[in-house]
Structure 1
Amino acid sequence: MKEEYIQTLHPIAGKTNKRISLKKYEIIKENILSILAESEPTHTELMEELYSRVKDTFDGGVQWYGETVKLDLEARTIIERTKTKPEKYKLIKPAHR
């Protein structure tokens, strides 16, 4: 079976993001949304928690995929950065399942 891909979006107009495996996208997306359902972490906290959750089962660079998917979720207005210092991340709306 041919692997499916998703063209991810970037929150800054004019910037293009990566085309990645849909399967890997879904794994990272589910974990990011799960983390944000429980807390409002800083970028570092988000990436550390994501890594700790998927490091043993995910095939690929967790931080790289995490950043790519995080930017895509921001562009799709599913998550947002707070205006606080340091910036934190939070859910805007429940994810569509």
Structure 2
Amino acid sequence: MKDRLLTLHPEGKKGVNILVSKYNVIRAFILKTLEERNEISYKELNELAIATLKDSFDGSVPWYLVSVKLDLEARKIIERIPGTSPHFVRMCETKK
């Protein structure tokens, strides 16, 4: 059986059960992108993820992206920037 991870949700809702290998690919992509850009809109992050990963990732890039993004928010690794619309994300201050 392959290793799985139950993701967390920043609002305490039930997470999703995903393969650790897929989680790690998306997590690395999000963190690398935020290191390079400091902050990015969710829409742009999603478009960039699709363009970058569509040929090598087995699964729905947008679905995994939102699941892992929410998990990283719940773990206080990244955060939504308050008052942004559309919403932007960045690394949490304590994790820089």
- The TM-score, its normalising length taken from structure 2, stands at 0.90
Pairwise CA distance, 1:85: 2.4
Aligned length: 92
**Aligned counterpart, 2:9:** 10
Is the Cα contact below 8 Å between 1:35 and 1:49 reproduced in 2? Answer: no
Q: Match of 1:89?
A: 89
Distance 1:24 1:46 in 2: 17
Greater fraction of residues in helix: 2
Q: Structure 1, unaligned stretches of length 5 or more?
A: none
TM-score calculated relative to the size of structure 1: 0.90
State the Cα deviation string for residues 10-64 of structure 1 (Å, max 9, x = none): 0002x11101000000000000111111121111001111111111100000000
Question: What SS class does the counterpart of residue 90 from structure 2 fall into?
Answer: strand
What do you get for the CA RMSD once the two structures are aligned? 1.0
1:25 equivalent in alignment to 2:30: no
SS across alignment from 1:83: coil
Higher strand share: 2
Q: Counterpart in 1 of 2:46?
A: 47
Contact 1:4–1:21 (CA under 8 A) maintained in structure 2: yes
Identity %: 41
List 4+ stretches of structure 1 deviating above 3 A.
none
**Helix, strand or coil at the partner of 1:80:** strand
